[in-house]
Chain A
Amino acid sequence: MSDESTDQPREAPERPDPAPSPAAYTIGLAQINPTLGDVDRNLAKHHEFIERAVFEKVDLLVFPEASLTGYYLQDLTDDVAMRVDAPPLRRLAEVAAQQDLDICVGFIEEDDRYIHYISQVYFSGGRPVHIHRKVYLPTYGMFDDMRFVGQGRKIRAFDTRFGRLGMLICEDFWHISSPYLLWQDGAETLLLVSAGPGRGVKPGDDYLDTTFDLGLTHRMFAEFFTTYVVHCNRVGYEDGIAFAGYSGVIGPDGAELARGPHFEETLITARIDPEAIRWKRRSLPLLRDEKPDLVLRELERIVAARDR
C-alpha cells in the first residue's frame, strides 16, 4: 500500500523560466544646442557629451534630431550632408564603443544616389545598427523640410543589447500610426528625437504651449503601448526660433521618470527597466488584445475606396 494520500497536494510540476527580460540600463538624453551648419563644432560637442555620459554611467546616449548639423539649414543642407560611413561619424561611433556606450546621433545623411535625408543613426560597438530616415517632413507654417530632403520609406523596430527599440524623428511621432507600427514591430522603448520649436505662452503653466501638447501625446503613447517613451529635444535658437528642450523619459505606466528644463543645455539620465513593462502588461494587456490583422484589413478597404 502506498504512503501517498490522495489528500496530499502534489508538487507543482517544473515550469521552464520565462525568457529573462533584458537587463535594466541607464539612458542619457543629450539636450544640446547645436551650431547651425558647423559640423566640426557639433562633433566636438558630441564628444564632450559622450565623456559626460560615461562619467554618469550612461549605457545608451541619445542626441536630438539633426544634432550634428542644426535644423533650419535651408541651402546649407548640401554642405553638411554626409554618408553614414563618413570618417567623423565612424570616429564618434568608435570613441563611444571604446567606453561601451551605444549612441543615437542626428545628421543629414547622403545615400548612394546623393539623396539627402534627416536621419538618426544608432551606433553600437562602433557600427551602425540601424538608421531611421525621417518619413514625415513638415512643410507648412514655419517648416520647410520637404524642400531640402527626401522622405524616408520605412518605420521599423530593431534589436539592440538593450532589447528591441524604435526611433522616430519629430513630425514622425505626430502621426500616431508611426509609434503604433513600432509597437506592433516589437519595440519596447520608443526613442523620439526632435528639433522641436517651442511657442505659445498662454498663462497658467511654466512651459510653452507646444510643450504641454507634446507631454500629453508622449504620455498617451506610453500608456497605450505600455512601453517606455524617451524624448530627446534640443535647445537653442535659430533665426529667432526657440527650441523647447524639455526632454524626458516616461515609463510604461505613464509616469514621468525624468524631465529636463526649457532653454538649458544639459544631460538627463534615467533608469530603464524592461521588467516594468512585463509588470505593467499583467494588468493592462493591450498588446495582447490588439488586432493588427483587423487594422490591416480595414485599412486595405479604406485605402482602396479612397483611390476609387
Chain B
Amino acid sequence: MPTALTAGAIHNRLEIAPALTRRLLVEFIRNETRKFGFQRLVLALSGGIDSALSAYLGAEAVGPENVFAVMMPYRTSSPASLAHAQLVVDDLQLPHTVVEITPMVEPLFARFPDMSAGRKGNVMARARMIVIFDQSLAQGALVLGTSNKTEVLLGYTTWFGDSAASLQPIGDLYKTQVRALSRAVGVPQPILDKQPSADLWPGQTDETELGIAYDEVDQVLYLLVDERMDADRIVHLGFDAALVTRVRTLVKNMQYKRMMPVTAKVGSRTPGVDFRYPRDWGR
C-alpha cells in the first residue's frame, strides 16, 4: 500500500479548482456547440454522477431549456437510477423523456438465448446510443457525452456505445475529479453518495467489476499518463505492482477504442494518417 505521505502528495495533484474548471468546461461546451450552428444538446441521463455532472455543465452552457435529457431504463435497471435522473431533471428543469430500451433489445436477446451478461450489456449500451443519436436529429441538437478520463483510459466503455458523442466535456477529468466538481456544481447528494455502476445487470458496480478502487487507480493513471512516470518508479512510490501492471496493460490494450479504426494505407494521403484537418475546420 502506498505510504500515507505518498498517497496524500499524489492525491493532492489530482485536486482541482472547481470554479475555474467549471468555467473552462462550460465555455468549452458553449464554444464547441455554437460554432457548428447548434443551440441545443441531448444527453443520456443515467442517474449516475458522470451524466449528472455533464447535465449541470451543459445547462449552464446553453441554458437548461436547451438540454434535452433522455432516460433509457431497461427492465432490470435499478429503480434508483431513474429516480436519481429525475432529481437532476427537477433541479435543473430540463426538458426530458423516458425511452425504455427493453422492447428494442429483448428481440435480439431472444434470437440469441445463450447471450452472456457482457454481450447483453454491450447491446444495451449501443441501443441507448441509437436512441440518443436519433433524438439529436429529432431535436436539432448535438450529443453531449458523459465519458470520464478514468473509464476512457481503462477502456471501461462500450465502443460506439456510451463512448459515442459529439463532445466530451468531462473526458479529461478523472473520476476523483468528477466527484469533486459534481459536489461543487450542486449534483444531488444521493448521486454523490452512491457506488458508481454501469447498471447493466443487478448489483453491478464499477469497482467490483474492475477489481480496483477509483481513488487508487486514478493516482496510478495520473502518474502513468499525466506525469509520464515509469511503472517501476510508480511501484517504488508504494503502489501495488500487480495493480500498476494491470492498469498499464488495460491502457495499452484499449488504445483502439480511442482511435479511428485502423485503415490499410494504399494511397498517398489517408484519413487518420496524413490527411490532417481539425474537427473545428473552418469554425
A residues sitting closer than 8 Å to B (CB atoms) are: 35-38, 72-76, 198, 201-208, 236-240, 242, 262-263
Contact = CB atoms under 8 A, between A and B. Distances in A.
A36 B20 contact: no
B20 A207 contact: yes
A198 B27 CA distance: 13
A38 B279 CA distance: 14
A246 to B, nearest CB: 12
A45 to B, nearest CB: 14
Interface stretch (B11-19, B92-100, B124-132, B257-265): B11-19
A76 B278 contact: yes
B31 A74 contact: no
B25 to A, nearest CB: 9
A145 to B, nearest CB: 13
Contact of B16 (A38, A203, A206, A240): A203
B17 A206 contact: yes
Contact of B282 (A37, A203, A205): A37
- Which of B31, B32, B280 is packed against the most chain A CB atoms within 10 Å? B280
A233 to B, nearest CB: 15
Given A202-B17, A206-B17, A242 B24 contact: yes
Interface string B267-283: 00000000111111111
22 contacts: A36-B281, A36-B282, A37-B281, A38-B282, A74-B276, A74-B277, A74-B278, A75-B276, A75-B277, A198-B24, A201-B16, A202-B17, A203-B16, A203-B17, A203-B18, A205-B20, A237-B27, A238-B280, A240-B28, A240-B168, A242-B27, A262-B23
B21 to A, nearest CB: 5
Given A201-B21, A203-B15, 5 more contacts: A38-B283, A198-B24, A207-B20, A237-B28, A237-B280
Given A35-B283, A36-B282, A204 B17 contact: yes
B31 A239 contact: no
A35 B276 contact: no
A35 B282 contact: yes
- Which of B19, B21, B283 is packed against the most chain A CB atoms within 10 Å? B283
A203 B275 CA distance: 39
Contacts of B282: 35-38
Contact of B278 (A36, A205, A208, A262): A36
A202 B19 contact: no
B283 A72 contact: no
A262 B17 CA distance: 15
Contact of A237 (B20, B32, B277): B32
Contacts of A263: 23-24, 27
A240 B32 contact: yes
A244 to B, nearest CB: 10
Contact of A208 (B13, B20, B167, B168): B20
Contacts of B277: 74-76
Contacts of B27: 237, 242, 263
Contacts of B281: 36-37, 76
B278 A238 contact: yes
Contacts of A238: 278, 280
A206 B19 contact: yes
A139 B31 CA distance: 26
B181 to A, nearest CB: 9
Name the 6 nearest CB pairs between A and B, nearest first: A74-B276, A237-B31, A203-B17, A201-B21, A201-B16, A75-B276
Nearest to B172: A240
A74 B21 CA distance: 28
Interface in B46-63: none
A36 B283 contact: yes
A260 to B, nearest CB: 15
Nearest to A73: B278
A201 B278 contact: no
Contacts of A72: 278, 280
Contacts of A198: 24
Contact of A239 (B15, B23, B24, B280): B280
A239 B32 CA distance: 8
A161 to B, nearest CB: 38
A255 to B, nearest CB: 25
Given A36-B282, A36-B283, A238-B280, A205 B28 contact: no
Nearest to A41: B282
Nearest to B282: A37
A242 B276 CA distance: 20
Interface in B227-283: 275-283
Contacts of B20: 201, 205-208
B275 to A, nearest CB: 7
A281 to B, nearest CB: 38
Contacts of B278: 36-37, 72-74, 76, 238-239
A238 B282 CA distance: 10
